[in-house]
């Protein structure tokens, strides 16, 4: 099939590369000329396992093309996917500016029937707005060209996006026209061949499914962190509690690991947007509000443990931080717990020596740009030298089984604050470490 993707960010690039991998002819279009030129040279703007070789190979084969010319992309496609960003507005709602601009561009340039697919995460009712914008542009041109608008939300996990796309748990498609639905089903058939994972529904329900899924996962995280905080108060061990409740098949083990809270580009934005959507429709989403409040406070739990141990004046203290990205296997630091933790420690006068396998450039050049007191180390052990304690914030694989003798040699004090409960408390205590976890009574 001939497919165009408007937007070469995280969703657009993964979608384009994976569609091309299955033999489709794909045009990825973006207004950022530098990004497009870099992509043509094999320079990928994000880190995602497996993505770079897939992009490079399909560009070489000609199945994946990059352009800034929206007309060229639309002229060469029967399906056009909108995969632009929907940043959070000041009121918490999703900003649809880029989605509607893309819709306008489609209306200005389409010359025959086309299926417009909303892949961006958007509020319920967005398909209607896209349809109105396209129709308005066609009216300005005084032409009548049929088109359909379909909702096809993405469910990609950062760090496993390529795998998720190639072997999806489910493909959700909301369509009003059976003809459009069958066309999208055909597009996804190579990805769902071994198991029937294609789920069709009306457009509004498909739009809602994406928000509901992310809100549910965020709720599980905040719930477990709430339990962790109660465990600390009553002297229980949340790690054991997690195993106890996870063994119940109705609950399961996914997303019930206690930690420093959720972050990234999806959960924070989508939970806020869903709460805002509820408010706009005169419903108070109390649970969603609580999920966000718990998460905001959870991001500071590790920093507060440090302050409790070392005091409020940290002006003579240096802390090593392992992990800056919001989760492993990505360079995405948007709304990462590390940002809240490091800023809180610096506010109390501390200096930071940070290390992350992939996210240091983003942190250095954006989130901590201009902030004094942060040094970036070349390796996890280099970050430890001269530090008063180690803070584990992101559970990258290379942090799972470190050399604790080497940690002890480099740290001033044998103290670890573990925001992801990765290590064995008894074993660390046996070799002389003070070890602080989330949700374990001291």
User: What phi and psi values does residue 401 have, to the nearest 5 degrees?
Assistant: -130, 65
Q: How far apart are CA 205 and CA 215, in angstroms?
A: 15
| Structural contact between residues 418 and 439, judged by C-beta atoms closer than 8 angstroms | no
- Report pLDDT for 90: 78
Which residues have CB under 8 Å from 215's CB, separation 6+?
Answer: 270, 271, 274, 288, 291
Q: How far apart are CA 134 and CA 101, in angstroms?
A: 10
> Helices marked H in 43-160 — which ranges?
51-61, 70-75, 97-109, 126-141
β-bridge pairing 2-6 and 25-29: parallel
Task: Tell me, yes or no, if 18 is annotated catalytic.
Answer: no
Torsion 205-208-214-219 (CA) sign: negative
Q: How far apart are CA 274 and CA 121, in angstroms?
A: 11
From 17, 25, 21, 20, select the one nearest 42 (Cα to Cα): 17
- Report pLDDT for 194: 65
One digit per residue, pLDDT tens: the chain, 442 residues?
A: 999 999 999 999 999 999 999 999 999 999 999 999 999 999 999 999 999 999 999 999 999 999 999 999 999 999 999 999 998 887 888 899 999 999 999 999 999 999 999 999 999 999 999 999 999 999 999 999 999 999 999 999 999 999 999 999 999 999 999 999 999 999 999 998 866 789 999 999 999 999 999 999 999 999 999 999 999 999 999 999 999 999 999 999 999 999 999 999 899 999 999 999 999 999 999 999 999 999 999 999 999 999 999 999 999 999 999 999 999 999 999 999 999 999 999 999 999 999 999 999 989 999 898 889 999 999 999 999 999 999 999 999 999 999 999 999 999 999 999 999 999 999 999 999 999 999 997 6
pTM attached to this predicted model = 0.91
From 186, 168, 180, 179, select the one nearest 118 (Cα to Cα): 180
**Residue-wise burial string across 63-76, b where 16 or more C-beta atoms lie within 10 A, e elsewhere:** bbbbbeebeebbee
Neighbours of 408 (CB within 10 A): 14
- Report pLDDT for 195: 67
What string of DSSP letters covers 170-205?
Answer: -EEEE-S-HHHHHHHHHHHGGGSSSS--EEEE-HHH
Q: Where are the beta strands (DSSP E) in 249-357?
A: 318-322, 351-355
| Structural contact between residues 259 and 421, judged by C-beta atoms closer than 8 angstroms | yes
From 13, 12, 442, select the one nearest 235 (Cα to Cα): 442
Collapsing DSSP states into helix, strand and coil, what is residue 436? strand
Catalytic residue among 81, 231, 260, 266: 266
**What are the tens digits of pLDDT across the range 317-365?**
999 999 999 999 999 999 999 999 999 999 999 999 999 999 999 899 9
- Report pLDDT for 370: 85
Q: Is 2 exposed, middle or buried (0-12, 13-18, 19+ CB in 10 A)?
A: middle
- Give the residues across from 88 on adjacent strands: 94
- Report pLDDT for 442: 66
- Report pLDDT for 92: 83
Collapsing DSSP states into helix, strand and coil, what is residue 412? coil
β-bridge pairing 114-118 and 79-82: parallel
């Amino acid at each position: 099939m001939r497919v165009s993707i408007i937007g070469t960010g995280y969703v657009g690039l993964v979608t384009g590369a994976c569609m091309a991998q299955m033999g489709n002819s794909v045009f990825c279009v973006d207004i950022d000329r530098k990004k497009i030129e870099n992509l043509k040279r094999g320079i990928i703007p994000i880190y995602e396992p497996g993505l770079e070789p897939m992009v490079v190979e399909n560009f070489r084969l000609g199945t994946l093309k990059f352009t800034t010319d929206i007309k060229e992309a639309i002229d060469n496609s029967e399906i056009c996917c909108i995969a632009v960003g929907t940043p959070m507005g000041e009121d918490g709602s999703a900003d649809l500016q880029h989605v509607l601009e893309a819709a306008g561009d489609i209306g200005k340039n389409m010359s025959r029937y086309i299926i417009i697919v909303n892949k961006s995460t958007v509020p319920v009712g967005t398909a209607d707005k896209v349809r109105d914008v396209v129709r308005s542009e066609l009216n300005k041109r005084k032409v009548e060209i049929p088109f359909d608008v379909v909702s096809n939300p993405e469910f990609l996990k950062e760090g496993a996006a390529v795998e998720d796309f190639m072997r999806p748990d489910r493909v959700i498609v909301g369509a009003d026209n059976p003809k459009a639905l069958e066309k999208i089903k055909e597009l996804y058939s190579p990805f769902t061949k071994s198991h029937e994972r294609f789920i069709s529904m009306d457009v509004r329900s498909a739009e809602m499914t994406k928000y509901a899924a992310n809100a549910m996962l965020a709720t599980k995280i905040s719930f477990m962190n709430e339990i962790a905080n109660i465990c600390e108060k009553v002297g229980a061990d949340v790690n054991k509690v997690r195993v106890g409740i996870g063994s119940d098949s109705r609950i399961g083990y996914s997303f019930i690991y206690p930690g420093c809270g959720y972050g990234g580009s999806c959960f924070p934005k989508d939970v806020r947007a869903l709460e805002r959507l509820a408010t706009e429709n005169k419903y108070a989403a109390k649970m969603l509000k609580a999920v966000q409040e718990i998460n905001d406070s959870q991001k500071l739990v590790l920093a507060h443990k440090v302050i409790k141990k070392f005091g409020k004046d940290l002006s003579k203290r240096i802390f090593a931080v392992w992990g800056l990205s919001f989760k492993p296997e990505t360079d995405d630091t948007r709304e990462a717990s590390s940002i809240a933790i490091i800023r809180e420690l610096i506010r109390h006068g501390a200096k930071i020596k940070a290390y992350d396998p992939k996210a240091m450039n983003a942190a250095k050049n954006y989130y901590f740009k201009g902030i004094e007191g942060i040094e970036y180390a070349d390796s996890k052990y280099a970050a430890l030298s001269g530090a008063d304690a180690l803070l584990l914030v992101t559970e990258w694989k290379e942090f799972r089984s470190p050399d604790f003798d080497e940690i002890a040699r480099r740290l001033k004090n044998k103290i670890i604050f573990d925001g992801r409960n990765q290590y064995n408390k008894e074993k660390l205590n046996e070799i002389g470490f003070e070890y602080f976890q989330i949700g374990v009574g001291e």
